[in-house]
């Protein structure tokens, strides 16, 4: 089998691993193998220290204070906004709204944009492979205002049927909301084409980038989507913090989502006027510490280089795909041509949950179940899968341990 030293990568994986303290954990007597990165990535020491540093040296509420700490906290908070603007190549920092995660970002769009601009009979297109976070908020909106949800089908490999998508588009289509990268299958969707075709009929587009920003280069101005949502905890950053990108003109036209705090200009009992972007959408005290530490996470990713990360993860994916395919009775679910380092699989006669439990006993963390994509599982005719998802700190040796672990599970239960 391939040794780690034989890989061609500019990245020093041993050094990277040494920066993630949690990778030293012993689980059930074995060194941890963490293959649940699609759920959340682990955090480098730099991010953990940035969080502690914020609470030790800066902690204050932002925007309203005139004392030293409040000014410092505000400056650090706003520095993250500019950092993320650059990272994603958004046009303006005001187009970057801090939310609590992808789910929160999508709900902001369905509630603020959807309620104001979508009406009964308007069609909203999503796809079969959406995460529940990009299904349920749209269903709630449809129930409320009578919009119609249409679903792009997929093929057996887990790729969108683009012909069917094109057939669905009409002057009735007012919104398209699709996932950039599938969390269950790893499929990278052709979002540039999806956006262009939606715009041709005058529809707005949201891209759920929860699984994309840690694996592929995202250039928002090149993509030209109207909204883009993602969570920092899947990008080596803290939990409880996400981004909604929106084009300035659209965000300006939208009513606010939540009321209170920094989102006002002036309040009287007769009438309230609202703040400018981005504050109009940031009601209440935000998650300041996590926003501040998120900048360190983005710095970290940029220092490694997203292309170098993608290249290395692709090697892991190819290696794991070959190795797992050699296991008798194992079937990979999701074989799209364009994929990130996510592998869902089934093993004949063994329930995915049993696989997860028995691998955990060997110190290997994977995820099992429907991965919050129940309609996708229904389409595939399966209750769920086992899923191994790789990040930049994973190694070929760890994949060997997964293979050995699965062979053991088969001997025990097969």
Ligand X SMILES: Cc1ncc(COP(=O)(O)O)c(C=O)c1O
Active site residues: 372
The residues in 268-307 that bind ligand X, with binding defined as CB under 6 A, are: none
- In angstroms, give the least distance from the CB of 204 to ligand X: 18
Which of 42, 58, 74, 103 contacts ligand X by CB under 6 A?
Answer: 103
Span near ligand X by CB under 6 A; candidates 3-11, 14-22, 95-103, 354-362: 95-103
Contact flag: residue 72 with ligand X (CB under 6 A): no
Structure tokens at 355: 């696989």
Which of 183, 214, 296, 362 contacts ligand X by CB under 6 A?
Answer: 183
- In angstroms, give the least distance from the CB of 181 to ligand X: 7
- In angstroms, give the least distance from the CB of 341 to ligand X: 14
- Quick one: 179 or 220, whose CB is closer to ligand X? 179
Decide if 36 contacts 365 (C-beta within 8 A).
Answer: yes
Which of 37, 127, 133, 394 contacts ligand X by CB under 6 A?
Answer: 133
Report the sign of the C-alpha dihedral through residues 319, 325, 330, 333, in that order.
Answer: positive
- In angstroms, give the least distance from the CB of 350 to ligand X: 25
- Quick one: 16 or 135, whose CB is closer to ligand X? 135
Q: How many residues bind ligand X (CB under 6 A)?
A: 12
- Give me the residues paired with residue 193 across strands: none
- Alpha-helix runs per DSSP H in 146-272: 162-168, 191-200, 220-223, 248-253
Q: What letter would DSSP give residue 286? A: -
Reduced to 3 states, what is the DSSP secondary structure of residue 354?
helix
The residues in 255-274 that bind ligand X, with binding defined as CB under 6 A, are: none
Contact flag: residue 102 with ligand X (CB under 6 A): yes
Distance, in Å, from the CA atom of 3 to the CA atom of 102, rounded to the nearest integer, reads 37
Q: What are the E-state strand segments in 109-267?
A: 123-127, 148-152, 173-179, 204-208, 227-231, 242-246, 264-267
Reduced to 3 states, what is the DSSP secondary structure of residue 149?
strand
Which of 43, 131, 367, 387 contacts ligand X by CB under 6 A?
Answer: 131
- In angstroms, give the least distance from the CB of 134 to ligand X: 6
Q: Which residues of 56-84 are buried (b: 16+ CB within 10 A; e: fewer)?
A: eebebebbeeeeeebebbbebbbebbebb
Segment (H or E) for 87: helix 68-88
- Quick one: 10 or 378, whose CB is closer to ligand X? 378
Which of 33, 80, 101, 110 contacts ligand X by CB under 6 A?
Answer: 101
Residues that bind ligand X (CB under 6 A): 101-103, 131, 133-134, 179, 183, 208, 210-211, 231
């Amino acid at each position: 089998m391939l040794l780690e030293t034989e890989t061609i990568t500019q990245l020093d994986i041993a050094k990277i691993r040494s920066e993630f303290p949690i990778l030293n954990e012993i689980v059930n007597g074995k060194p941890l193998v963490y293959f649940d990165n699609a759920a959340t990535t682990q955090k480098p020491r730099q991010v953990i220290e940035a969080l502690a540093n914020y609470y030790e040296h800066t902690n204050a509420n932002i925007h309203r204070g005139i004392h030293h700490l409040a000014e410092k906290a505000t400056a650090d908070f706003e520095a993250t906004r500019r950092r993320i603007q650059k990272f994603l190549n958004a046009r303006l920092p005001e187009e970057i709204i801090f939310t609590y995660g992808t789910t929160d970002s999508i709900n902001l769009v369905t509630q603020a944009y959807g309620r104001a601009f979508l009406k009964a009979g308007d069609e909203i297109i999503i796809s079969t492979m959406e995460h529940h976070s990009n299904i349920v908020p749209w269903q709630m909106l449809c129930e409320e205002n009578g919009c119609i949800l249409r679903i792009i089908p997929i093929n057996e490999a887990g790729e969108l049927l683009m012909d069917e998508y094109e057939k669905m588009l009409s002057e009735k289509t007012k919104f398209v909301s699709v996932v950039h990268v599938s969390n269950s299958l790893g499929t990278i969707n052709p979002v540039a084409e999806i956006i262009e075709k939606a715009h041709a009929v005058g529809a707005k587009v949201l891209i759920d980038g929860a699984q994309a920003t840690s694996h592929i280069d995202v250039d928002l101005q090149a993509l030209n989507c109207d909204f883009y949502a993602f969570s920092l905890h899947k990008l080596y950053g803290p939990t409880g913090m996400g981004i909604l990108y929106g084009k300035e003109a659209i965000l300006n036209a939208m009513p606010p989502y939540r009321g209170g705090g920094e989102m006002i200009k002036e309040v009287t009992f007769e009438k309230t006027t609202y703040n400018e972007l981005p504050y109009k959408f940031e009601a209440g005290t935000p998650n300041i510490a996590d926003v501040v530490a998120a900048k360190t996470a983005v710095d970290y990713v940029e220092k490694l280089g997203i292309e170098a990360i993608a290249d290395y993860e692709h090697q892991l994916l190819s290696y794991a795909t070959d190795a797992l395919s050699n296991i008798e009775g194992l079937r990979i679910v999701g074989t799209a041509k364009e994929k990130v380092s996510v592998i869902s699989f089934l093993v004949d006669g063994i329930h995915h949950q049993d696989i997860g439990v028995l691998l955990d006993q060997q110190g290997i963390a994977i995820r099992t179940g429907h991965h919050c994509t129940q309609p996708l599982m229904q389409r595939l005719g399966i209750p769920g899968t086992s899923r191994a998802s790789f990040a930049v700190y994973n190694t070929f040796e760890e994949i060997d341990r997964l293979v050995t672990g699965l062979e053991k599970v088969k001997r025990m239960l097969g």
